[in-house]
Amino acid sequence: MNLEKIKSNKLSTILQYSIPSIIAMMLTTVITITDGFFTGNYVGEEALAALNLGLPIIYLFLGLGLCVGVGGSVISGQLLGSGDKKKASEVFSQTTITSFFVCVVTAIAVVFLFKPLLNVLGAQGVVATYFTQYYKILLFELPIMVVGTVLGMFIRTDGKPQFCMLVSIVSVVLNIILDYILVAKLSMGVRGSAIASLIVESIAMLIQLAYFFKGAKNICFKKFKFDKKIHRDIIFNGSSEFIGEMSSAIAMFSFNFVLMKYAGVDGVAAFTVMGYAVYFYSMIAIGFGQGISPLISLCWGADEKRTAVEIRKLANRILFVVGIIFALSFFLLGSKYAGLFGCGESIVKMVSTGFKFYAVTFVLMGFDVINSMYFTSCADAKSSAFISFLRGIFLLLIFIFVLPVFWGINGVWFASPLTEIITSIVSIILLIKQKKKCLIGS
């Protein structure tokens, strides 16, 4: 990455790094939606609900991966900005090994929590069966997925976001083919979908590993001595991302719990279908965040704080426009979208109503996600973690459990929009405080 090029061509540089990241994240979402499409159409609504009930498990692993991966890649980016390639590579090596070890241990622990999870969620009968069939296979896939995610972050830090995009394209095509064969043709049900994910993520990780052995420019695997200080800095810098994903896990668990109470399996299925759209947009926002993160960390490491702020502002403006497009699209076409997943009339109606509440979420979510990742890239983990804590745990949980008492299922739909509104106000306050503290020009 060339600092002068970033300063003189901010918009084109943002797009150069962000668009491949966005496409990669969107394609990752396409894999999830493809699984939902084949599951809903070839297995049934109970299977679709079962997949959604276990999403907190996926968020747990993503939280661990993002915590270590984002924390490590930010440190590496700042080291590259200061010209220390050797230390940047050592941080990369330590980060990758740590992420794999932590996720394997977590997968083993989760195996023993299946029955308690099902009991708490109230899942019974065929839903519980589908849940067990799918997630016992997925626990082999999740550590591989996390390592692939971490490798992708460092590939972007190395200046090759296009490579991550190509890996995602290969993954999507392969996943569609395997889902069609295993679920639609061989009728392997949710097991087939899980096996397809395991194969796809394994191939993607191997391709990314090959990059660091043959094609890397600045970062590569090196022998390293475990550095406790670096490890603390990695965890501290990535703590907001961990909080963000864990809050998503807690929120998803809470949504499912409340929806089972107020609307049963149909409510969970409706939330699953809506969740694909929200997840798709959040991946665009995160893709932008991952795209600008190495740019901001490089600028911050080189003491170009004004440039870092301008990059953040441009990303926020772009996502505001994208958010409005999403809000209008799903506000008007929510019922037609729900029909793609083979849903019954009651679920289609729930989805259509839910999107009318969720429109505000699309407009503001990008702003909050970008600001959180911006603070992480500036090594201001406290502000980033506070934003993640507010939008993912504190405010959201209050609204999830309180609003339905007064407005039933509509209260569930309104929890996220209200959370994003309040969080965006807090984000602005934190940005103003940073500007005064660092004496950054407007």
- Dump pLDDT digits (tens) for 91-114: 888 888 888 888 888 888 888 877
Residue 421: pLDDT band (50, 70, 90) is very high
Residue type, 73: S
The DSSP output letter for 393 is I
Question: Cα(137)–Cα(190) distance, rounded to whole angstroms?
Answer: 10
Residue type, 15: L
Averaged pLDDT for residues 292-320: 84
CB half-sphere exposure, 105, CA atoms < 13 A: 7
Place of tokens 């959040």: 282
- pLDDT at residue number 17: 73
Instruction: Tell me if the pTM is above 0.85.
Output: no
Least confident of 137-151, 177-191, 327-341: 327-341
Tell me the CA end-to-end span of the chain in Å, nearest whole number: 25
Looking at the predicted structure, is the pLDDT value of residue 429 above 80? yes
